[in-house]
Amino acid sequence: QAADSKREQFRRYLEKSGVLDTLTKVLVALYEEPEKPNSALDFLKHHLGASAPENPEIEALRLEVAEMKEKYEAVLEENKKLKTKVTFY
């Protein structure tokens, strides 16, 4: 009886926190996939990760990466121009 009570409490906890709803949606999406992916687990991981709230630190890192990519491209362009100048001298 105690085990059933614990299970029921846990089920209510999962339901209240939205876990059951989210899992159900992802499993339904997998079921409705016309071509099943090779790895159902990877499908679940991808879809569960996509529905997770964004961590502000992760967003800041994404912005930093985007800025670094822009700087990198600018340095590559500058390098290219400098190489052409050097070849003329």
Complete DSSP assignment for 33-72: -SS--S-HHHHHHHHHHHTSPPPHHHHHHHHHHHHHHHHH
Asked if residue 77 has pLDDT above 90, the reply is yes
Asked whether the whole model's pTM tops 0.85, one would answer no
Per-residue model confidence as pLDDT tens digits over 52-72: 556 788 888 889 999 999 999
Rounded average pLDDT over 39-54: 78
CA nearest neighbour of 51 among 40, 43, 62, 61: 43
